[in-house]
């Protein structure tokens, strides 16, 4: 197997990461974010919930406050200052027009070249994917398309938000990664610090491994595929490129012509 290639250096200048909960970006992906922000790429986070149902011992209001603060600190650790929360309900996140519209609104406001989501696959590297994570990934993909279509959610036009076409969709945790980001060194350190920022939340999860060995190990495993000590693997779709099958179809048509 040839090594997984890096994303092209000039692929994008603005990234919006869309995830369900505080801490979802911090299991490896935030090390890639640190590598990007160090290169001057603008990265923003959109959290669909505040993760308020995530701590058994605490009331949701209290958990929401705690996890919001931890997420802001986690973002800051990797150079992200813009963090937004949509306040959809944690645990029962629903895929549908309301969620798609709310994400599309932020896409039109932020105007990213790349949208990064977690995989929506039912089964992935970490086992069975959780409901909110599947919904967040799929709603992100759909909202990307909605953001570019003038006639879907016309109320966004009334808010002064013109359509915006996002070029790249990036998915983390996808079982078939196409690209990698080398995070060896400073980016890895900052990624570790970003998971450590969720200290109180993680303390409530019995048996959760400490962030340093966990993130070091996750990125080391992914680094093997890229041929570097530490990497974050992503699946990337270039939505401005014609699908490969279109080229094959045209070639097939040319072969049968006349
Ligand atoms: Zn989560």
Residue 59 lies in a domain: yes
User: Which tens digits make up the pLDDT trace of 23-37?
Assistant: 999 999 999 999 999
Residue 1 lies in a domain: no
* Residue 3 near residue 231, CB atoms below 8 Å: no
Residue 191 lies in a domain: yes
Mean pLDDT of 182-186: 98
Residue 91 lies in a domain: yes
Residues near ion ligand 1 (Cβ under 5 Å): 21, 24
Residue 7 lies in a domain: no
Distance in Å, CA 173 to ligand 1 centroid: 13
Q: Is the pLDDT of residue 207 over 60?
A: yes
Residue 85 lies in a domain: yes
Distance in Å, CA 81 to ligand 1 centroid: 20
pLDDT band at residue 47 using 50, 70 and 90 as cut-offs: very high
In terms of Cα–Cα distance, which of 49, 46, 63 is closest to 104?
Answer: 46
| Overall domain count for the chain | 1
129: domain CATH number is 3.40.50.10320
User: Which tens digits make up the pLDDT trace of 104-153?
Assistant: 999 999 999 999 999 999 999 889 999 999 999 999 999 999 999 999 99
**Domain containing residue 241:** 14-257
Report the pLDDT value the prediction gives residue 26, as an integer from 0 to 100. 98
Rounded CA separation 231/133 (Å): 22
Residue 9 lies in a domain: no
Q: Is the pLDDT of residue 241 over 70?
A: yes
């Amino acid at each position: 197997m040839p090594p997984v290639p890096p994303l092209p250096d000039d692929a994008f200048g603005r990234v919006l990461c869309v995830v369900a909960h505080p801490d979802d970006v911090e299991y490896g992906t935030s090390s890639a974010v640190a590598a990007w922000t160090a290169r001057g790429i603008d990265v923003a986070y959109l959290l669909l919930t505040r993760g308020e149902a995530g701590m058994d011992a605490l009331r949701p209001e209290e958990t929401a406050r705690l996890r919001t603060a931890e997420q802001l600190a986690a973002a800051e650790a990797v150079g992200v200052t813009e963090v937004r929360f949509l306040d959809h309900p944690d645990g029962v996140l629903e895929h549908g027009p309301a969620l798609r519209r709310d994400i599309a609104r932020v896409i039109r406001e932020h105007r990213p070249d790349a949208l990064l989501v977690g995989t929506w696959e039912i089964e992935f590297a970490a086992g069975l994917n959780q409901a909110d994570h599947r919904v967040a990934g799929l709603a992100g993909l759909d909202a990307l398309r909605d953001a570019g279509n003038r006639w879907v959610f016309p109320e966004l036009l009334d808010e002064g938000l013109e359509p915006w076409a996002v070029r790249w969709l990036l998915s983390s945790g996808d079982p078939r990664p196409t690209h990698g980001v080398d995070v060896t060194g400073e980016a890895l350190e900052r990624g570790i610090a970003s998971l450590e920022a969720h200290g109180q939340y993680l303390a409530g999860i019995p048996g959760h491994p400490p962030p340093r060995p966990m993130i070091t190990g996750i990125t080391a495993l992914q680094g093997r595929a890229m041929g570097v000590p530490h990497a974050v693997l992503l699946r990337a779709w270039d939505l401005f490129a014609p699908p490969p099958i279109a080229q094959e179809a045209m070639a097939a048509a040319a072969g049968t012509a006349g």
